[in-house]
Amino acid sequence: MNPVLASVPDVALSFAEYQTEGFHDELFLADQTPRPEAGPIIQRINSLPPGELMRRQAAAERLLLQLGITFNVYGDNQGAERIFPFDIIPRIVPAHEWEWLERGLKQRIQALNLFINDIYHDQHIIKDGVIPAEILLDAKSYREQCHGINPPHGIWCHVTGTDLVRGGDGQVYVLEDNLRCPSGVSYVLQNRSIMKRTFPQVFDLSRVRPVGDYPLRLLRTLEHLSPRDVANPRVVVLTPGVFNSAYYEHSFLAQQMGVELVEGRDLVVAGEKLYMRTTSGLEQVDVIYRRIDDDFLDPKAFRADSMLGVEGLMNVYRAGRVALANAPGTGVADDKVIYAYVPKIIKYYLNEEAIIPNVPTYICENEDERAYVLDHLDELVVKAANESGGYGMLVGPHSTREQQAQFAELIKANPRNYIAQPTLSLSRVPTICGDHFEGRHVDLRPYILYGKEIFVLPGGLTRVALRKGSLVVNSSQGGGSKDTWVIATNQEQLTPQSATP
């Protein structure tokens, strides 16, 4: 349990003194009155007896520990698993806004799937001059080994996590795309389970849309890819092992779907098919939900020193005898330089304007834009094209002159590897800070499944920067999470979700 919470006396937390401080707040309007959709939860919290909210927060943290909801931080000398910090004040998304977000996310995934299929086949988007060839070919995640591959049903990006942020003007932007092995959905499901115990009555009163059917929807998405026409295709989750930072999620999703969790050593290629070793012999595998990067999938096709993958897997995949989700090569769309071209990608393939805009982005490969970035490092957020988790990033307003000088040299040495964006005044959500509430900056990662149709989970992972003033929400950088409540329309029929408190 958080030692800060353990030492707090039985104080009555309320929102009476809460201040939005000029930021866009997800629960309160600028005049400090609750947003309509947030009224029930705010009223409930304000009515709790002294100490009750803190006891519920502490109970939630104990439950996280009991459930083993942890993550590892690479490079952490302590080498210990950590509980993913959780704050019980939810983020709330009104029905009309979610409808807009859902349309925008479906549009984006459809266009990115067409883009990935094109670049590994005829590359029309390059021939037509929409994206420079060098931008694509120099992307670290571009895989020549994937040329000519035709994944089942032409779908490359089966599971996507798209990071969204809201600026100070209230506009929601896409911050980045995650199409390789997006993580975090297990926290969405477990956060919801905890919240239904914490505020059961408010949950139903607020008409919160459910997320609990995600594992079944994920399984149906994966089964849709099966190359064999069988009643129950063999699906497995491929994990790098217990030392991976997201191993808890790998095991959780396998358990929830009722499928085997395997490592590379559990699989073998024989007779141009893929098999799983079992106590009763070899069993053919139809679909792999892989949670390892392309480089480690197959030592014959990618990194020869990989001990995590399966030798010969890519040959079986190319022959159409096993399906991989996500398809190898999808990481090219995660490249932050490619990200800058997504509005053009949407226009090129769908002849539509992007519904959800990108954050304005400077491409350091461009000489004029690079010059501007170098002159304004103290104002901009600079990101490496292929880093994640909050690494390889400079937040200009919070940086030192020494750090700015270091990034200037990195940009000059390899301009293709860097982009820069304005420092957004990210929206905030009230968060428990000791014996009172303070606003903390958040983002939102919805999860999108692409199978027979495109499905957007009504909610997602709200990540919160727990350090005061911080804009970095990643768990590896001290961030935590909140439950995300998407409010149903008046026309939607919901079954009660409340649980016994």
Q: What is the pLDDT of residues 127-160, one digit of tens each?
A: 999 999 999 988 999 999 999 999 999 999 999 9
Average pLDDT (44-70) is 89
Phi-psi region of 373 (alpha: psi -120 to 50; beta: other; left: phi over 0): alpha
- Mean pLDDT over 487-494 rounds to 82
User: Which residue in the block uniquely carries the two structure tokens 């199409």?
Assistant: 179
pLDDT digits (tens, 9 = 90+) for 387-423: 765 678 999 999 999 999 999 999 999 999 999 999 9
What is the per-residue pLDDT across 292-344, written as a single tens digit (0 to 9) for each? 999 999 999 999 999 999 999 999 999 999 999 999 999 999 999 999 999 99
Confidence of residue 80 (pLDDT cuts 50, 70, 90): low
d(CA 328, CA 79) in angstroms, rounded, equals: 30
H-only helix segments in 152-262:
185-198, 200-205, 214-223, 247-257
Query: Which long-range contacts (C-beta less than 8 Å, at least 24 apart) are formed by 127-133?
Result: 128/348, 130/341, 130/344, 130/345, 130/348, 131/338, 131/341, 131/344, 131/345
Look at residue 375 in the predicted model and tell me its pLDDT.
97
Percent of the chain with pLDDT over 70: 93
Q: How many residues does the chain have?
A: 501
What pLDDT, in 10s, does the model give residues 150-193?
A: 999 999 999 999 999 999 999 999 999 999 989 999 999 999 99
- The boundaries of every CATH 3.40.50.11290 domain in the chain are 228-321
The CATH code belonging to domain 360-422 is: 3.30.1490.270
Residue 17 has pLDDT above 60, yes or no: yes
Share of the chain above pLDDT 90, in %: 81
Cα-flanking dihedrals φ and ψ of residue 136, to 5°? -75, -50
Identify the pLDDT of residue 390. Answer: 63
pTM score, whole prediction: 0.93
pLDDT at 5 over 60: no
Q: How far apart are the first and last CA of the chain?
A: 19
pLDDT at position 245, please?
A: 83
Confidence check: pLDDT of 496 > 80: no
* DSSP code for 208: B
The answer to whether the peptide bond before residue 326 is cis (omega within 30 degrees of 0) is yes
Which structure tokens are listed for 10?
């039985």
- How many CA atoms are closer than 13 Å to the CA of 19, on its beta-carbon side? 2
Both tokens assigned to 48: 């709790």
Structure tokens at 239: 């994990």
The Cα–Cα gap between 147 and 151 comes to: 11
Question: Per residue in 224-264, pLDDT tens?
Answer: 999 999 999 999 999 999 988 889 999 999 999 999 999 99
Question: Which pLDDT does position 1 carry in this prediction?
Answer: 42
Tell the CATH topology of 228-321: Rossmann fold (3.40.50)
State how far the alpha carbon of 391 is from the alpha carbons of 376, 394, 473, in Å. Answer: 20, 9, 12
Element (H, E) at 484: strand 484-486
pLDDT in tens, 184-219: 999 999 999 999 988 888 888 889 999 999 999 999
The residue with tokens 């901009």 is 380
CATH 3.30.1490.270 domain range(s) in the chain: 360-422
Q: Which long-range contacts (CB under 8 A, 24 or more apart) does 433-439 make?
A: 433/468, 434/4, 434/8, 435/8, 435/9, 435/11, 435/13, 436/13, 436/17, 437/13, 437/15, 437/18, 437/89, 438/18, 438/468, 439/18, 439/19, 439/20, 439/21, 439/23, 439/25
Does the structure show a pLDDT above 60 at 436?
yes
Query: Which pLDDT does position 320 carry in this prediction?
Result: 96
Query: Coil, strand, or helix at residue 490?
Result: coil
Q: Average pLDDT of 106-132?
A: 98
What's the sign of the alpha-carbon dihedral 264, 269, 273, 277? negative
- Token readout for 134 is 């060098």
Cα separation, 244 vs 457, whole angstroms: 25
**Closest-CA residue to 176 (of 495, 413, 459, 443):** 443
Q: Are 296 and 308 in contact (CB under 8 A)?
A: yes
Q: Are 225 and 158 in contact (CB under 8 A)?
A: yes
The sign of the dihedral angle between the CA atoms of 453, 159, 108, 172 is positive
